[in-house]
């Protein structure tokens, strides 16, 4: 069973059933819950994930990013997110 280890501000470590760990940010746009994936742990440290959370939160990138992703064709989402 998957687990979520919360750090606060929407940042959490998602533990997969297979034992992998992924940093994610939970947020809402227009009342709908969304998830932004940062990268895996330990490739990204807690300190680096917190920096990402601060940058995303302070600049409002989540709304902009979601609008851009929604405008892309489905097969382009992966490469766009990798470049983001």
The correct answer on CATH 1.10.8.50 for the domain covering 3-83 is: no
Q: How many residues does the chain have?
A: 84
H-state helical runs in the chain: 46-59, 61-71, 77-83
Q: Which of 20, 57, 25, 55 is nearest to 40 (CA)?
A: 20
Structure tokens at 75: 């097969």
HSE-up of 38 (CA within 13 Å, CB side)? 28
Q: Residue ranges of the domains in the chain? A: 3-83
According to the model, what pLDDT value does residue 32 have? 81
Backbone dihedral angles phi then psi of residue 9, each to the nearest 5 degrees: 70, 15
Per-10-residue mean pLDDT, the chain, length 84: 92 95 86 86 94 77 66 58 53
Q: Residues 41, 22: contact at Cβ < 8 Å?
A: yes
């Amino acid at each position: 069973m998957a687990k979520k280890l919360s750090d606060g501000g929407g940042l959490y470590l998602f533990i997969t059933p297979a034992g992998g760990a992924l940093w994610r940010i939970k947020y809402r746009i227009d009342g709908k819950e969304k998830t932004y994936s940062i990268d895996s742990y330990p490739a990204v440290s807690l300190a680096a994930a917190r920096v990402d959370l601060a940058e995303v939160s302070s600049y409002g990138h989540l709304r902009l990013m979601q609008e851009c992703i929604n405008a892309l064709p489905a097969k382009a989402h992966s490469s766009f997110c990798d470049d983001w």
